[in-house]
Structure 1
Amino acid sequence: MTSPIFALADEYITSYAQLDPMFAGAVGIKGDFGVATDFGPDAVEQRAKLDRDTLARLAALESTGPADDLARLHMAERLQVAVDRHDAGEWRRALRVPYGLLQSLVGYIDLAPRETEGDWRLNAARMRAIPEMLATWRQTLNAGIETGQTVAVRQALEGAKQARRTAESRVFDKHLQAYGDGPQAADLREAADAAYAAFAAAADYLEQTYAPRAAPTDGVGEERYLLAARSTLGAVLDPRDAYAWAWDELHRIEAEMEAEAERLLPGAGLDAVIAHLDATEALDTAEEYLAWLQDRHRGALEALNGVHFDIDPRLMDLDVQLVHGSSAGSAYYTGPSEDLTRPGRTWWPVADRERFRVWGELTTVFHEGVPGHHLQIGQSKVAGDGLSRFAKVLGTVSGHAEGWALYAERLCDDLGWFTEPGTRLGMLKGSALRAARVVIDVGWHLGYPLPAAEAKRHGERWDFDTALDVLTTRGRIAEHRAHPEIVRYAGWPGQAICYKLGERAWVAARDEAKAAAGAGFDLKAWHTAALNLGPIGLDNLAAVLRGE
């Protein structure tokens, strides 16, 4: 496509990359943009001005057809909510744990290429830029202190722990060891040491300067929450409907879990079945765990390709990485670079685990890999001229992406893929976790009361301990993930709801298409068409899928 709208999308990505070199490097945009992003107030305002100016120019352009219509719809929705969040002052609250800037800086180094001496010079430059980037970030946090727009004290203290852990675990040393004693060894060591010192200084700042001035409570209230939900869902949320629906969904899943446990070990009960699986369906070393993950990723790609999906050959390369010293409680995915020279990757935090209960993680392989994030996000990169560069590179909507990935887990159940002992119960357990996330996130941030029956079990009011209790007893989350998950919900309002509410939207759209087509419904064709549309906010998903 060479339409004015597509040209504007391309221009926007290039301009944004110039204003945010770290973004350009992380997503793999080729070009000489530098290595350090300025996170200070003036630079943040520059990026917001780009959004405003692009919105105004977009509104003045004529559409030349359906591809333009889709590009305009998506760009306008994403840019408008970004401007609205900026104008509300959310930019001053630039701290989120564990998936915020501190984690992104580590990912920025982890994603750097390492094939040539030039690549290693880039690694050193990126590490050397970390002190500068953290310094400008503190300027923005200070602006929030001055205006009384801060995150909660819990985020500040947890952020300090994350920054200190990053420094003390020397997370970049694995790369230095991989390089060895080549000509840049000393420069790489000096750059890494400077980065570690900067993370330690950030921890001191968060503990000593920011935390004493941070907001006392975790909940963000209705106005901020609904704005956050617009950003993550691409939709206007009815929070009371979502809260009630999620409790009902949790009860439905729990009943199905009980039935599955009865099938596995009749008469034992759910808790005993889970304990049995933990004891019998687990691996004892990180090496075994990595080999298991690689085998399951590869098996899913091979089983899906040409049968349930037509997977582009360029997406058949999917890398699997274990992550040591990470504060992240759960696995995550990073997409291919723009030119596809860097493959998509799934990342699996090891934490302090000595055993790996894989019966509960097969469903996450499908979620993070295929047919989940890798297939969806990767497909947008290979979709050709039908998608704008904005949609391919920057336009992810969490509700759309996480909803698809959870839908992918359900699809694998429909396909009968959970055949290993306990793996279907693992899928149901994961779905219960996602339903629990909705009730926790909405209830905690908006201060909703727990339903009467639930209040007898967990308490009448939401706080950190109540959220932790619901997550561990109802979401049945692995112990090493529980605390960072709750911290994440506190610091990233509206994100935890994306999975289940996104899945609900995807299932509704598929069922609508199936009802309309009747016996002629082709699920493979529907999946192909849906993925080729790229990211879409949930408010527009059903209409776009039906071709309106």
Structure 2
Amino acid sequence: MTLLDEFVDWYLDQYPVRADLLGADGYDRTLGDFTEAGFARRERAAELWLERLALVVPADLDDRIDHELALSYLRGAVASARWPDWRRDPAPYLGAVFGSLFTPFQQRLRPEAELVEAALARLAEVPGVLAACRDNLDPDLAADLLVRRGLDQALTARRFLTETIPGVVEDPALRARLAAAAEPAADAFDELAGFLAEFRAGGTWRMGEELYSALLRERELLGYGAAELHEKGQAEWAALDLRMGEVAGRLGADDWRSAMESLMDDHPPTLAAMREEYEAETFRARDFVRDHQLVTFPDGEECFVLPSPEFQRPILAVANYLAPPPLTPSRTGVFFVPYTPDGFTEEQVRQRLRTNSRAQMPSIAVHETYPGHHWHLAWMAGNPRRVRKIFRTPYFAEGWALYVERMMHEQGYFATPQTELAHLDCRIFRAARIVVDTALHCGDMTIEEAETFMSTKASLSPGTAKGEVSRYCAWPTQAPSYLTGAIEIENIRAEFDGDLRTFHDVIAGSGGLPLGLARMAALGK
């Protein structure tokens, strides 16, 4: 066994929920150690693994890429330990519970009885995990915005645990056992919700320029920091603004914002109709990609189009994707359509529908499914290198999904001025994300200024802009990954010596690598 194999085994052992969601066997009966001692032990171990792996320099190119991938993860983990999310944010605790209970039933890769037994074991650990959350949150470090996000999600837990999860179990006896076991966990969530409602947080959600830049350079392997990225976002926004003005002129509009406002009035009438139309668009994108031979399709791949799960709705206002577990033979993924929380008003629902207009649907479906996230993650799951199945960065995964939007436009998929403008709107939206995310976390923009920027510099409703900015505050460096990664992939393609399908198969099949490593994998140097 190599040192890299030992590190991967350690990682799976320390993060059992992540290991189970990846499809590794033997990790489905525990949530892991969320105590202060557990977090501190993992942080120290990451430092030691970084020291040990840094001493090894493989000669083979693919081995070197694998090695550098592990090092990039560890450098990011060590840097992030200076700003520990487990002291600032309820999300690490809540995410582990919700994801570990929902995803296995969604994917159903094991018999129902085994899924229920695993859920029962994890439900028994929920009170302890939430107690650790209460113990570990530091009033001087925790940010009020993050605590309120956690509270909103915690308030969905009782219904999720006692109704939603048991409701997907077909066997009546198993369903009854699961519902009964969920009650103590639901009580623990109620207790946590009360705690968070009274919690007085005095910390900040702003990451700061120093750590932000360190993550860009050391984890993402980009050759620049936050200030340079901010400037790139501004330049991309300005160039797209000019191009969109030209397309809007072809539609008879004075400017692209008014043109997009008009296009957004043409939307599905209901959330259910939105799901149906997204499903039809997903099938159309798959047929186009196959007919134009843009990628090689993995055997057995399939993508379902479903409403977003209830627990995600308070914290996620946009479409998202659930990948097949890469350590299993499954190639089935789920495109989640962004439903609103149950308590939303009729006007809030209408605004959500407007930001999923019929002109925008082709770009969003391409991004999430074919040849975006679903194709990429189903295809890369066939890579035999275990470390590449486990570690990936949004700077490639999201960059790929935005890259293919532009590529599909080049191939003629967005065939009308309306869908072309919407495609460009999706791209300028990502440029705005770069500007806002860097400005927020470097202290150059308030939340209110960011919401105004996103609702005026991109075609977001005020409600959607509010949800977006809340996400940026909670997940620094992720929002810029889309356009940053797309531009880097486009640059790599310009240097690639081969046809388009081969480029796609090679670079996407290499994993979800930091862009510097993706360049090495695609170009062989």
CA distance in 2, matches of 1:76, 1:126: 31
Aligned amino acid, residue 441 of structure 1: D
Q: Report whether the alignment pairs 1:224 with 2:216.
A: no
Report the equivalent of 1:283.
268
Contact 2:124 2:185 in 1 (8 A): yes
User: In the TM superposition, what is the alpha-carbon distance from 1:159 to its structure 2 partner?
Assistant: 2.2
User: In the TM superposition, what is the alpha-carbon distance from 1:123 to its structure 2 partner?
Assistant: 3.0
Report the equivalent of 1:39.
34
Aligned amino acid, residue 376 of structure 2: Q
Task: Name the stretch that deviates more: 427-436 or 172-181.
Answer: 172-181
CA displacement, residues 254-285 of structure 1 (integer Å, 9 cap, x when unaligned) = 22222222223x246534433432333x2123
Report the equivalent of 1:439.
435
User: In the TM superposition, what is the alpha-carbon distance from 1:433 to its structure 2 partner?
Assistant: 1.1
Which residue among 383, 390, 397 is the counterpart of 2:387? 390
User: In the TM superposition, what is the alpha-carbon distance from 1:187 to its structure 2 partner?
Assistant: 2.1
For 1:126-525, list aligned pairs within 5 A: 126-141=122-137, 144-145=138-139, 148=140, 150-164=141-155, 166-167=156-157, 170=160, 173-179=163-169, 182-209=172-199, 212-215=200-203, 217-230=204-217, 233-264=220-251, 266-267=252-253, 269-280=255-266, 282-305=267-290, 307-314=293-300, 316-325=301-310, 326-327=313-314, 328-337=316-325, 338-341=327-330, 343-351=332-340, 352=344, 353=349, 355=353, 357-384=357-384, 387=385, 389-393=386-390, 395-419=391-415, 422-448=418-444, 462-513=445-496, 517=497, 521-525=498-502
Q: Report whether the alignment pairs 1:52 with 2:42.
A: no
Structure 1 residues not aligned, in runs of 5+: 449-461
Residues 491 and 230 of structure 1: CA distance in aligned 2, closer, same or farther (over 3 Å): farther
Aligned amino acid, residue 230 of structure 2: Y
User: In the TM superposition, what is the alpha-carbon distance from 1:208 to its structure 2 partner?
Assistant: 1.8
User: In the TM superposition, what is the alpha-carbon distance from 1:133 to its structure 2 partner?
Assistant: 1.9
CA displacement, residues 121-149 of structure 1 (integer Å, 9 cap, x when unaligned) = 323333443322222233332xx44xx4x
Pairs aligned (count): 505
Contact 1:18 1:33 in 2 (8 A): no
CA displacement, residues 2-61 of structure 1 (integer Å, 9 cap, x when unaligned) = xx5xx4444333332222221122222122553222222211233234433433443454
Aligned amino acid, residue 392 of structure 1: K
Contact 2:142 2:201 in 1 (8 A): no
The secondary structure found in structure 2 opposite 1:111 is helix
Residues 443 and 172 of structure 1: CA distance in aligned 2, closer, same or farther (over 3 Å): same
CA displacement, residues 428-462 of structure 1 (integer Å, 9 cap, x when unaligned) = 111111111111111222234xxxxxxxxxxxxx2
Contact 2:7 2:49 in 1 (8 A): yes
Residues 171 and 503 of structure 1: CA distance in aligned 2, closer, same or farther (over 3 Å): farther
Contact 1:309 1:527 in 2 (8 A): yes
Aligned amino acid, residue 334 of structure 2: R
Report the equivalent of 1:451.
none
Contact 1:332 1:348 in 2 (8 A): yes
CA displacement, residues 310-355 of structure 1 (integer Å, 9 cap, x when unaligned) = 11113x2122221253121112222211113372222222014254
Contact 1:233 1:498 in 2 (8 A): no
Residues 116 and 171 of structure 1: CA distance in aligned 2, closer, same or farther (over 3 Å): closer
Residues 35 and 230 of structure 1: CA distance in aligned 2, closer, same or farther (over 3 Å): farther
CA distance in 1, matches of 2:480, 2:128: 34
The secondary structure found in structure 1 opposite 2:238 is helix
User: In the TM superposition, what is the alpha-carbon distance from 1:228 to its structure 2 partner?
Assistant: 4.0
Contact 1:229 1:493 in 2 (8 A): no
The secondary structure found in structure 2 opposite 1:179 is coil
Aligned amino acid, residue 84 of structure 2: E
Residues 245 and 175 of structure 1: CA distance in aligned 2, closer, same or farther (over 3 Å): same
Residues 475 and 169 of structure 1: CA distance in aligned 2, closer, same or farther (over 3 Å): farther
Which residue among 82, 99, 105 is the counterpart of 2:97? 105
Q: Report whether the alignment pairs 1:120 with 2:106.
A: no
Contact 2:244 2:256 in 1 (8 A): yes
CA distance in 1, matches of 2:97, 2:416: 38
Aligned amino acid, residue 248 of structure 1: A
CA distance in 2, matches of 1:171, 1:350: 19
CA distance in 2, matches of 1:189, 1:31: 24
Report the equivalent of 1:95.
89
Contact 1:96 1:488 in 2 (8 A): no
CA distance in 1, matches of 2:71, 2:13: 21
User: In the TM superposition, what is the alpha-carbon distance from 1:382 to its structure 2 partner?
Assistant: 0.4
User: In the TM superposition, what is the alpha-carbon distance from 1:82 to its structure 2 partner?
Assistant: 1.2
User: In the TM superposition, what is the alpha-carbon distance from 1:390 to its structure 2 partner?
Assistant: 1.6
CA displacement, residues 146-188 of structure 1 (integer Å, 9 cap, x when unaligned) = xx4x132222223222322x23654662332232571123322
CA distance in 2, matches of 1:426, 1:267: 14
User: In the TM superposition, what is the alpha-carbon distance from 1:540 to its structure 2 partner?
Assistant: 4.0
Residues 276 and 167 of structure 1: CA distance in aligned 2, closer, same or farther (over 3 Å): same
CA distance in 1, matches of 2:202, 2:218: 24
Identity %: 23
Aligned amino acid, residue 509 of structure 2: N
Aligned amino acid, residue 368 of structure 2: E
Query: What CA RMSD, in Å, does the superposition of the two structures yield over aligned residues?
Result: 2.7
For 1:68-83, list aligned pairs within 5 A: 68-83=63-78
CA displacement, residues 446-484 of structure 1 (integer Å, 9 cap, x when unaligned) = 234xxxxxxxxxxxxx21110000001112224542212
